[in-house]
Each structure stands twice: as C-alpha cells, then as structure tokens.
Structure 1
Amino acid sequence: MRRWNGWGEAAVEVLLPPSAQALLEDRLGPGTPPRDCSLEEVLARIPPSRLPNHPQVHTDPELRLRHAVGQGLPDWIAARSGRIQAPDGVAFPETNEDVRALLAYARAVGARVIPYGGGTSVVGHLRVLPDPRPALVIDLGRMNRLLALDRLSGLATFQTGIRGPDLEAALRAHGFTLGHFPQSFEYSTLGGWIATRSVGQFALGYGRIEELFVGGRVETPQGPLILPSLPPSAAGPDLRHLVLGSEGRLGILTEAVLRVRPLPEAEALGTFFFPDFDHGLAAARAMVQAGIPLTMLRLSTAEETRMTLLLSGREGWVRLLRGWLRLRGLGDTPCMLLLAAAGARRVVHAALAEAFHIARRHHGRSLGSRLAREWLRQRFRAPYLRNTLWAMGYAVDTLETAVIWARVPAMVTAIEEALRNGLADQGERVYAFSHVSHVYPHGANVYTTFLFRLAPDPEESLRRWQRLKQAASAAILRLGGTISHQHGVGVDHLPYLEAEKGPLGLAILRAMLRAVDPEEIMNPGKLIEGPGR
C-alpha cells in the first residue's frame, strides 16, 4: 500500500549509505528525528463531509485523507504534523458521462472540484485551500484504458487516468512506446503530465509532453471541448495549448491522443567526466546544437557528482574511480555527464561516436556505460530517500528552471547561493547541488536539490522552506529564468507567474477561464487567481 504521508510504497525503504550520511551531517549538522502524527491521530481530526449524498461520491475519512495533498514539502509537513485540510468527498468516474454528471453535481451543490491523477504534484495542485465551499476530488484512476491505436498514423488514444507503467505496457504489447519517463513515472498519470506540461527524462529524443499530445477531450463546466487530432493546422490559435499546463482549471481531460513510435531497435548509454562544470556545459551545448540524435543529456555539478557517487554505497570503487580521474587530469572536482541514445542501431552507434568526439574536444573522458546503467536502474528509487532523510531529521526539496545558455552558469551559482545563505541569520545551514537535466539548442534546464534541518515545530519548518523557496525564486526571476520548467505552477509558483506572463498575459488567462468556468469551481486557487478575483 502507498504511504499516506510520504513517497511510494510503504514496504519499500531506500537507505542512506554511511558515507553519504557523514557528508550530510558535516554540511548541516546532526538532524533530530521529528515526532510524526499517526494515521489514527490525523483521522480523528477530519471533520464530517459537507457534501450531500451522491451515489458516486465517497466520504470515508481515510479515503479523503489519502486524496488531501500531493508530494510537495508543505504537503508533507501538513500531513505529518496532522495539520491537514481534507476534501469532503472523492469520486471515481469510469466514463465521460460519469465526469459530466459529477461536474453537474458539483455546480448544483456549490462545490469546488479538484482533479486527481497519481497524487505526485510537488507544487500544491492537490492542496485543499481555505474556502467556504466543500471540496470534491475527482480521481481518474479507473479511467485507465487504451481506447484506440492507429498503427499507420502512429497515434494512440488513452483515457487519461492511466499511470506511466500501464501506459507503456499497453503500448509495448503492440510494439510501440511513448518514451515519456518523468521521475514520478511509477505513479503519475497521463492527465497529470498534460495538465502540468511534464518533461520526461528522455525528452531530448522523444519530446516533451506538448510535442506528444495531439488531441483529446476535456469535460468542462460548460460542456465537452473536443480537440481534433490533426497534423499542424493554421486554423487560428491551437486550443491544445490552452489545455496543456491548465492544471485542472479548464475542466477534466478525460481522453488524450498521443504521438507514439515503434520500439527502438537499439538503446545505449554513456558516462563522461569533465574537469569542471564549465567544460561539461560546453560539451553538452555543442552536442545539442550539433543535432546529435540523443535521448538524454544530464550533467551534474561537482557537488552533485560527489553525492551521486557516495549514494552508490560502493566506497572502495569510488576511491578507485577518483584515482583514475586524477591520473587523467580531471582534478578533484570532476563533473559527470550521462547520455542516452535510442533508435536504429546504426544511428545510435553514430550518435555515441559523435558525442565521444565532442566530449574529447572539451577535455571529457569516457567511462563506458556502467554509471549510466546504474542511474537508469535506480532512477525511480531516488524519491524514496525523502522518507529516509525525513526520519533522520532532514527536509529535502527540489526546484527547477530553464534559461538561455549564456545565463546557465550564473543561474546555477545564484540559486545555490540563495539557498545556502537563506537561513544563515538563524544559524542554520542549507546543502544544495544542481544538474542540467534537459537541454535545448538555445538553453537548458537547471534542477537543484536542497536539504535543511527540520525544526522541532512544524510551522517553523514550513517557514524555513518558504524563505528558501522565495530566495531561490527571486534569483530565478532576476536572471530571466522560467519559474517552472517541468513542475507546473500550482500554489507554490502562483505568486511569481505575473513576472513571466505580464499583466496582459494574466488578463488573457483569466478571460479564458471565465469562458469555461464562470462559477470558478475547477481547482480554484491553483495556477492563477480566479477570474473574479
């Protein structure tokens, strides 16, 4: 069973190697394990539902609790301290007609609606905000089927409640793949990917979700919105882009048509080390601007490289590796680049060969595929470390942006400095490290992990997180980065949206929302303040 107050399955535990634990204590000081509320304590605090009876609406307290929050750090603090606002009911539709009926019910009883996919949002999309109206969560988990596959056109139609593993299994049974693998892949859903403009780990080759989503159906409070599955069209603005990133504010996306492709003939991975981050950045930029058909480029800073190697738990092997790197002139602060390619065998071989030549021109050294294969094997287990670290007294969170190449080095420095200095006046340290996980011809994504000690008081832990989030967000905006490259806006990024969209842009978004949701029942308070506010 999944944890109600943490990440993943309750039976799965990922331990922190002693060397990584020692580094963490050196950087932050020893943590104090928090006192978490039990499930029984939290259930006792959930008030009765305010919703009238409906045959599809369930009001069981534990079911409501398990649909109350996502995976953001404020969500964790609320759940583990028992200060959680639960929805009033949860529904599990199975058809478009069920969804329409539930939206009609919500309008009739004056309830707001929170669409729910896999529960993996990290920026507050699922949070039940203060509001006098009752809250109804619509969980699409039972709308999880492959509806159609057009082999000739390379198009697959799915119900959007399907989770990542089930979607890939359905396609692979027919010899196809979507190739979309966010870190939340095991639990997140197709609808969530589209609603937040998700980016998969192999997006360099397969494309971001907006490149894969070609049509579908949205059930709105004003009726269904049908998005035809056309090749590129010049018939005015593309309505798909109103749905992409809409975060449940327009309605509930129930069906999606996706561009899929045959399973690749060959897949390959590679690992390179560079003497510093600047050399690695230059190599990654050269590779993407050369148009090499790779599916992934992931470059870690020296500090993240160090932590990644320590997390392997193979201390003897890591010492040998560091000695090997020094012998080849890579110094004491090497940076690791992981890459992947997929497709026709000859194309994959050619891509790796060209990447090898570019890496050598920028003083990179190849280490084969072992570390990349280990990363691939462990990539969906890494979030489980959040549970382990919390139990040790440490909070961990991530933030991300994207910026043009000319500002990437300054962005990494600014974000990390803002975080490391963010709690200095309290005598608390912050440990931060970054990687570039997605690259484009004109820029790159910067993804930063940061850790700090939990306070004895949950409210103080939340205040620490808020200060760090604000400091890092200010640094991102100052350097012209996007406030969100792949996590969406939700609640946590809402205050910064105007800096990116501008007042007129926000006015356009509000007018769009007003057209389909004049009563503001769809996930209010997320993405943007409501049309009438």
Structure 2
Amino acid sequence: MAGKHRSWWGWGNVEDAVIGAEATALEDRVRPLLPNADLTEHLAPPVAELGLRPPRIDPPTSLARLCSVDPADRAAHTHGKAFRDVVRNLHGDVRDPPDLVVRPVTEQDVLDVLDWCAGRNVAVIPYGGGSSVVGGVEPRLGDAYPAAISLDLGRLDRVLEVDTTSRAARIQAGVFGPALENQLRPYDLSLRHFPQSFEFSTLGGWLATRAGGHYATVLTHIDDLVESMRVVTPAGTSQSLRLPGSGAGPSPDRLFLGSEGALGVITEAWMRLQDRPRWRAGATVHFSDYDEAVAATRVIAQSGLYPSNCRLLDPAEALLNAGVATTGGVLVLGFESADHPVAPGLDRAVELCRDHGGTLPEASRGDDRTGPRKGPAAAWRSAFLRMPYQRDALAARSMIVETFETACTWSQFPALRAAVHDAAGEALRAVAATGVVTCRFTHVYPDGPAPYFGVYATGRWGSTVAQWDQIKQAVSDALLAAGGTITHHQAVGRDHRPWYDRQRPDPVALALRAAKSALDPSWILNPGVLVDPAARR
C-alpha cells in the first residue's frame, strides 16, 4: 500500500477506486438487468465539510502522545465498511465520531488506556483494520457514555518470534495481512489466511471476529490457526499456554475468539503457519442444472479431496461477477500444496463434476507447478478482490448492493435458498425497488455449505439505507426460520444483534453476561456488541 491513501468514506485505497473504463463497464453490466436504475454518481463530501462535533474529552498528559483528534482520522474511524456505512458517509452522516483515535505503541499503553477509560466511564471501541461490515467498530452509544475512543492497534504490527521447527509465530495483533505475510516470507512460511478484506484487516480483527479466509475447505477459519493468545482486559491479562492441543477444561482462547472486543483487547497470538505452496491447479466447471451443480459441490466436499477453492456461483452470480452466462452456474475449483503435485486431486474433482453433468469449456483449466498464481481460480480471486470497490461505485449511484452470509446443512439448503429469494423479493417490492438476488458458496463442509447471497437493486438516493434496512430485516428473519446462522464469518457487531440474541442459547447468554461483568466491570469495552449495555452496572 506504499504511496496510496486510505479512503475515509469507502473501501480500500483512494487510488484503487472504480473510475473510467471500469466504471463504464460496470454500468453497462447493470443497465440490461436493471434498466430503471438511476446511475447518476454522487461524491462524498470533503472531511472539512462534515462538521464533526468537537471532542468531548481530553486525554491525560501521559497518553496524549498516543491520541489523535484529526478530523479525517476521526471520520475514518466512525463507521466500518458495510453498505449502510458507505452510504451514510456519502451523505456526510457522521454523527457519532469517536472523540479520540488512540494508537498504543506497547501493551503497557493498552493497559494504561483501559485504566484511564474505566476511571472516566469512556467507551473503548477496538478498531482492528476498520473493515467491519456489521457495525462492529461504530460508537453507536446514545447517551450512555460521556465519550468514546477508537482503539487502533496498527502500531503493534510486528512478527516477534518464529518457531520454524513447530511452524508457528508470535505475532502482534495490529499487523495487517500484507505486512504479516511479508514478515513471514523470509522463512518461506505463511499464515495462509486470506479473507476478502486481507489488505485492510488485522490479525487481531480476524481473531476477534472468528474470520473465515479465502480457502473453501480445512484450515480456513482463524480458529483453527490459533496456538495461544494474549488478551488485555480491565480485570487483568490472559495468556494461554502454547500447545498443539489440550483437554484441560474449556479452552481459554475460545472465550476470546469471536468476542469482538467486548471482553478484552487481543494484543498478540502464537499462530500456526504453513509452508508456502509450490503446486497449484484449477478449473472452472459449467453446469446446465443448478441442483446438479449443488450436488456435485456436495460430493466434492464429502470426498476428502479438500480443494483450496470450491466456490459455486449460481447463474446470476456467474453473470454479474464473472461475466459467464450459464443456466446452472459455475463451479470454481482450485487445489494447492507445498508437498506434492495436485493435478490428480483436480482430475478427480472434475470427474465428480462430470458425473453431475458438469462440463469444462476450452481453456478453463490451469496447472501451474512452481510460478505465481494463474488460471481460472486466480482470475476469480482478482475479481473477488475488486468486488468491494465496485460495491462502493454502485452505492454512489443509488444502487442497493449488499450481502447476507450464512451456513446450513446440505439438506436444509434448497429450502433456505428459496426462503431467502422469497423474503428478498417481497421486501424489494415493499420498498419499491427492482432487484436481483445472487448466491455463491464461500466455504463448503462435509455437512453443509456457507451460502453468500448478494442483493443488487435499484434505490432512491437519500433512501437507500432505509430501503436496505427493511430488506435486511426480512431476509435475516428468513435465514433463522430456515435453520441458517445469522453469520458464518462476518461477526455479530451491532447490526446482527437482534438475530444473534435469538440464535444464542439462553444459558450461554447468562455465561456471556457473567464473563463480561467479571472481565470488564465498568462495561466500557465495545458496548452494544454481543450483550446489551443495559445490563451494565
């Protein structure tokens, strides 16, 4: 990211925004599907015109060196990167900025900041990389706190130790994905965790949200890559024992994985690493029948082949985001290994696809043994990483462009997909919008897929957030009613709380509130995520 500048209002870097020929091509893809869409572009206001409220608190002299009151800094730390965040920013709606952006340099700084905030009843919002799409980093607090800070660990960004024998490293939580991989490259090792937000998210954020990576099967959830964690809480510091596994009671790391900064601030972790892959092979398989495409994907997921990529795009998703017209969808397959050639695994997966009517168009297969990524899976990966930028471009053109992600069993999937389409269609009609609903599988397991639904719809400038909220309500209700989870890999935050409260067992809610009270007695840590501040004493 050298020489580039982060956008305060949208995804990623200003220099990488969708403009020119790419913007024209995007509009040309939208018009045939949604001919009534008003694609007039709207620009975000300059930070100087936002009228941010003044900071309501001054830091003590001992912490002032860590604190920023710069308007651009505060504006950029106000929201995450969900559709509703981007649209509010485009409208200049930054009504609840953090009063300070605080960047610790050491773990002791984190302790000192928490002590100061607890004493002053100041809310602490751990920021990670700020890529939350569920309201997880937003100081949405009402009048419950006199002030709020955004705690940005971006200066804690080093790989501190590497154990090459055990293939593990001790890593500070504020490191961004590219910087982490660059520090591991001299050892020819990799964490091999590549979420869509990889360039703009941190290790601590992945751990706090139980993130899922780009890979479709095995060792893709950050949970599986953790050896031990160090977490600073207002009640003390938790350091788990570094082990390959343990049966000694409930796992201490599991308490903090997925805690979204509500129980403590993750400062570092020992992470399991992998050798960098030397062999890769991939293919795209076309289907004429979607049910057969789903069946082929299930058989591969249950085969023990464990592809690195097994991403099924339904016909609408294939057309919109891959430019491929099919009646049954496209399955993007990829295999990789640091130890052995993977072409035989790909051959067997393709054979399973052919058993279900799958075909390989000409030049749809790539086999690269030693060089950089290429072929079909790599082409999809490039398009995948551009999607958030394209989302922003469409949001600025009055489009409603957002996603739902979930997981369910294979037996539940047909009914769940139908329920989502019905709920989304009814909600779109209710908000007077015309739209398309797409589906792709981001991850697959032997017992079920993780479907990722996209909504692309016409909106009314000035009303798209309200329109989206109504669609979100309807589809989220449908997901839970059909047996899906409210989130597979994007966390709960504040936006998913109503459905998480319904999904979570009552005894677990009691235990979570008790843990919150014990570890954060002043209830200052990320209020509103996971449990209600109303329970605060």
> TM-score if structure 1 supplies the norm length?
0.92
Greater alpha carbon shift after TM alignment, 292-301 vs 411-420:
411-420
Q: Secondary structure at the match of 2:376?
A: helix
Residue of structure 2 equivalent to 1:110: 121
CA distance in 1, matches of 2:181, 2:29: 39
Match of 1:417 among 413, 422, 440: 422
Residue of structure 2 equivalent to 1:379: 384
**Does the CA contact (< 8 Å) of 1:520 and 1:531 recur in 2?**
no
Alpha-carbon distance, 1:417 to partner: 2.5
**Does the CA contact (< 8 Å) of 1:115 and 1:139 recur in 2?**
yes
**Does the CA contact (< 8 Å) of 2:47 and 2:72 recur in 1?**
no
Q: Secondary structure at the match of 1:158?
A: strand
Matches within 5 A, 1:321-360: 333-344=327-338, 346-360=340-354
CA distance in 2, matches of 1:172, 1:203: 23
Q: Secondary structure at the match of 1:123?
A: coil
Confirm whether residue 388 of structure 1 aligns to residue 393 of structure 2.
yes
Q: Sort the Cα spacing of 1:531 and 1:261 in 2 relative to 1 into closer, same or farther, 3 A.
A: farther
Match of 1:58 among 47, 68, 71: 68
Residue of structure 2 equivalent to 1:362: 356
**Does the CA contact (< 8 Å) of 1:435 and 1:447 recur in 2?**
yes
Matches within 5 A, 1:168-207: 168-207=181-220
CA distance in 1, matches of 2:35, 2:228: 48
Q: Show structure 2 runs of 5+ residues with no match.
A: 367-374
Greater alpha carbon shift after TM alignment, 63-72 vs 485-494:
63-72
Q: Secondary structure at the match of 2:181?
A: helix
Confirm whether residue 482 of structure 1 aligns to residue 485 of structure 2.
yes
In the alignment, residue 102 of structure 2 is paired with which amino acid?
A
In the alignment, residue 349 of structure 1 is paired with which amino acid?
A
Residue of structure 1 equivalent to 2:433: 428
Match of 1:466 among 465, 469, 481: 469
* Cα shift readout 1:106-125 (whole Å, capped 9, x = no counterpart): 11222010111111000001
In the alignment, residue 72 of structure 1 is paired with which amino acid?
A
Q: Sort the Cα spacing of 1:530 and 1:427 in 2 relative to 1 into closer, same or farther, 3 A.
A: closer
Alpha-carbon distance, 1:419 to partner: 1.4
Alpha-carbon distance, 1:34 to partner: 6.2
In the alignment, residue 470 of structure 1 is paired with which amino acid?
Q
**Does the CA contact (< 8 Å) of 1:185 and 1:380 recur in 2?**
no
CA distance in 2, matches of 1:122, 1:160: 19
Q: Secondary structure at the match of 1:249?
A: coil
> TM-score if structure 2 supplies the norm length?
0.91
Residue of structure 2 equivalent to 1:523: 526
Residue of structure 2 equivalent to 1:33: 40
Aligned-pair identity (%): 35
CA distance in 2, matches of 1:508, 1:233: 22
In the alignment, residue 116 of structure 2 is paired with which amino acid?
Y
**Does the CA contact (< 8 Å) of 2:87 and 2:395 recur in 1?**
no
Residue of structure 2 equivalent to 1:532: 535
Alpha-carbon distance, 1:280 to partner: 1.3
Residue of structure 2 equivalent to 1:447: 452
Residue of structure 2 equivalent to 1:94: 105
Q: Secondary structure at the match of 2:427?
A: coil
Match of 1:3 among 7, 14, 19: 7
Alpha-carbon distance, 1:49 to partner: 3.3
Q: Secondary structure at the match of 1:297?
A: strand
Greater alpha carbon shift after TM alignment, 56-65 vs 230-239:
56-65
Q: Sort the Cα spacing of 1:187 and 1:344 in 2 relative to 1 into closer, same or farther, 3 A.
A: closer
**Does the CA contact (< 8 Å) of 1:431 and 1:452 recur in 2?**
yes
CA distance in 1, matches of 2:410, 2:28: 34
**Does the CA contact (< 8 Å) of 1:28 and 1:429 recur in 2?**
no
Residues matched between the structures, number: 512
* Cα shift readout 1:313-334 (whole Å, capped 9, x = no counterpart): xxxxx6xxx6xxxxxxxxx513
**Does the CA contact (< 8 Å) of 1:34 and 1:456 recur in 2?**
no
In the alignment, residue 376 of structure 2 is paired with which amino acid?
L
Q: Secondary structure at the match of 2:16?
A: coil
* Cα shift readout 1:302-358 (whole Å, capped 9, x = no counterpart): 111121333xxxxxxx6xxx6xxxxxxxxx513110111111564512211211211
**Does the CA contact (< 8 Å) of 1:157 and 1:255 recur in 2?**
yes
**Does the CA contact (< 8 Å) of 1:511 and 1:531 recur in 2?**
no
CA distance in 1, matches of 2:39, 2:386: 24
**Does the CA contact (< 8 Å) of 2:86 and 2:392 recur in 1?**
no
CA distance in 2, matches of 1:346, 1:137: 46
Alpha-carbon distance, 1:96 to partner: 0.8
Q: CA RMSD in A?
A: 1.9
Residue of structure 1 equivalent to 2:372: none
**Does the CA contact (< 8 Å) of 1:301 and 1:434 recur in 2?**
yes
Alpha-carbon distance, 1:231 to partner: 2.1
Residue of structure 1 equivalent to 2:53: 46
Alpha-carbon distance, 1:42 to partner: 4.2
Q: Secondary structure at the match of 1:272?
A: strand
CA distance in 1, matches of 2:208, 2:224: 13
**Does the CA contact (< 8 Å) of 1:75 and 1:127 recur in 2?**
no
**Does the CA contact (< 8 Å) of 1:4 and 1:66 recur in 2?**
yes
Greater alpha carbon shift after TM alignment, 360-369 vs 156-165:
360-369
CA distance in 2, matches of 1:147, 1:194: 18
Q: Secondary structure at the match of 1:214?
A: strand
Q: Secondary structure at the match of 1:141?
A: coil
Q: Sort the Cα spacing of 1:426 and 1:395 in 2 relative to 1 into closer, same or farther, 3 A.
A: closer
Residue of structure 2 equivalent to 1:258: 271
Greater alpha carbon shift after TM alignment, 503-512 vs 237-246:
503-512
In the alignment, residue 124 of structure 1 is paired with which amino acid?
G
Matches within 5 A, 1:299-338: 299-310=312-323, 333-338=327-332
CA distance in 1, matches of 2:482, 2:91: 36
Q: Show structure 1 runs of 5+ residues with no match.
A: 311-317, 323-331
Alpha-carbon distance, 1:174 to partner: 0.7
Residue of structure 1 equivalent to 2:79: 69
**Does the CA contact (< 8 Å) of 2:228 and 2:243 recur in 1?**
yes
**Does the CA contact (< 8 Å) of 1:217 and 1:227 recur in 2?**
yes
CA distance in 2, matches of 1:293, 1:45: 50
**Does the CA contact (< 8 Å) of 1:476 and 1:482 recur in 2?**
yes
Q: Secondary structure at the match of 1:480?
A: coil
* Cα shift readout 1:277-323 (whole Å, capped 9, x = no counterpart): 2111111111111100311210011111121333xxxxxxx6xxx6x
Confirm whether residue 230 of structure 1 aligns to residue 233 of structure 2.
no
Alpha-carbon distance, 1:22 to partner: 4.7
